[in-house]
Structure 1
Amino acid sequence: MSEKIIAKKAAIVEELVEKFNAASSVVVADYRGLTVEEVTNLRKELREAGIEMRVIKNSYLRRAADKAGYEGLDEVFTGPTAVAFGSEDATAPARILAKFAEDHEALQIKGGMIEGKVVSLEEVNALAKLPNREGMLSMLLSVLQAPVRNFAYAVNAVADSKEDGDAA
């Protein structure tokens, strides 16, 4: 094999290593059976959420994952493989791919990596059921506000009862 080809392949692997390291989550899926239009729609939906989906040779993916320190992904790098790299919202790739897979049986999620940890299909599906970052922050804010709101109601009730007592 010529040095030029080897250098090109090494550059692809290095680019993938950077993507693995920069991603907060990576979801691996088998896209076999999807039409071109369906894949295009999926890519568009992922792109709108800031997620990059690529179809890459498994040998490149294996080398890049090993080089990035993610052991255990070799089992999911079989057959036609599409990889979604998400860097902003860790739940977004899993959530979008799982929703798309519900409507399109041909898409099969295989597994992935979340926050530097290799995860199984079951863990990806569990992550897909979580709300997005904004939803989680909203839930946290609601929980934090509850004691303050209850205290305000109690103070208001005491003030109202004092007012009623003075009027009588």
Structure 2
Amino acid sequence: MADKPVRADKATAVAELTEHFRDSGATVLTEYRGLTVSQITELRVKLGKETTYSVAKNTLAKRAAADAGLSLDDALFAGPTAFAFVGGDVVEAAKSLRDFAKAHPALVIKGGVFEGKGLTKEEVSKLADLESREVLLAKLAGAMKANLSKAAATFQAPLTQTARLAAALQEKREQQDGAAAA
């Protein structure tokens, strides 16, 4: 009878993890062995409010990932594992994890999940190398503005040429009238 409450707790934990896997834009799996509690707290702060960084038992996390429809390599669940469930900007979270891992070598990025597909640690690193969403949107807006400026100039060019042509014709007519009068 003592097993039933434990199983209920495990079922609740699996359900919560499954929900995190489903609701997150990405999940990064890390090994945290060697980090102090204060360092983990510092990491949580750096990840921001939209990212949840939590430790879970590998067996429960594997089951939750499967329940969420994810097929992850078993090697990701070796050793003590913590999960960064990213709710906001995936690139910013990946950068925060990468930078924290550089400053604290005890944090090891194992891999992750992005848009339902497994990522290697190298692919997580490539995500971290991308520019943030805001920067990419700003570049897109700048490119669109430049193209609109070019389009406006293109549309205005025939009017400008017509005005120049009319001015040249008027000048020529004035010269001809002046020559005919003399």
TM-score range, shorter chain: 0.7 to 0.9
The offset of 1:103, in angstroms, is 1.6
Q: Among the aligned pairs, what percent are the same residue? A: 39
Aligned residue pair count: 166
Query: In the alignment, which residue of structure 2 is the partner of 1:56?
Result: 56
Whole-angstrom CA distance in 1 between matches of 2:90 and 2:104? 23
C-alpha distance 42-150 of structure 1, shift in aligned 2 (>3 A): same
Query: In the alignment, which residue of structure 1 is the partner of 2:15?
Result: 14
Whole-angstrom CA distance in 2 between matches of 1:66 and 1:151? 51
Query: In the alignment, which residue of structure 2 is the partner of 1:112?
Result: 112
Code of the residue aligned with 2:55 in structure 1: it is V
Higher helix proportion: 2
Q: Is the 8 A contact 1:101 1:108 kept in 2?
A: yes
Q: Is the 8 A contact 1:27 1:113 kept in 2?
A: yes
Q: Is the 8 A contact 1:25 1:91 kept in 2?
A: no
The offset of 1:45, in angstroms, is 1.3
Query: In the alignment, which residue of structure 2 is the partner of 1:38?
Result: 39
Code of the residue aligned with 1:26 in structure 2: it is T
Cα deviations by residue, 1:79-118 (Å, 9 ceiling, x for unpaired)? 1111000122222321210111122211110000011111
Whole-angstrom CA distance in 1 between matches of 2:67 and 2:125? 26
Cα deviations by residue, 1:129-158 (Å, 9 ceiling, x for unpaired)? 1122211211221222222223445648x8
The offset of 1:58, in angstroms, is 0.8
SS at match of 1:75: helix
Structural mapping, 1:6-155, within 5 Å: 6-48=7-49, 50-152=50-152, 155=156
Whole-angstrom CA distance in 2 between matches of 1:120 and 1:138? 29
State the Cα RMSD in Å: 2.5
SS at match of 1:26: strand
Contiguous gaps of at least 5 residues in structure 1: none
Cα deviations by residue, 1:42-83 (Å, 9 ceiling, x for unpaired)? 1111134x1110011111111101111111242211111110
TM-score, normalization: structure 2? 0.80
Contiguous gaps of at least 5 residues in structure 2: 172-182
TM-score, normalization: structure 1? 0.86
Code of the residue aligned with 1:51 in structure 2: it is T
Q: Is the 8 A contact 1:65 1:73 kept in 2?
A: no
